[in-house]
Amino acid sequence: MDSVFKIRKTQCNSCTNLVLKSLGTLRGVYGGDVDTINGVITVSHTDEVSREEIAKELTRLGFPVTSPPETDEPSIWGCAL
């Protein structure tokens, strides 16, 4: 499964690499991607690690999650299929 987190924007590649390397040490995390332009990190993981544990690690690394977890909201067209 993938979990998406909104974090502060960064343009530092070494910071991005540190975050991905540290998240990779969590049991159940098997991948990740940082969108430095939009300040979004996507973490691929199994059920062995919770979204809350990942958010806690991001905060420990200096990248606190800046918004609540994403929810399934209707699209701008009003269709919630």
Q: Where are the domains of the chain?
A: 2-60
- DSSP 8-class letter at 78: S
Q: What is the pTM of this model?
A: 0.77
How far apart CA 77 and CA 42 sit, in angstroms, is 25
* Beta carbons of 41 and 34 less than 8 angstroms apart: yes
Average pLDDT over residues 38-57: 95
Contacts of 73 (CB under 8 A, 6+ apart): 80
List pLDDT tens digits, range 9-44.
Answer: 877 888 889 999 999 999 999 999 999 888 899 999
Topology of the domain covering 2-60? Alpha-Beta Plaits (3.30.70)
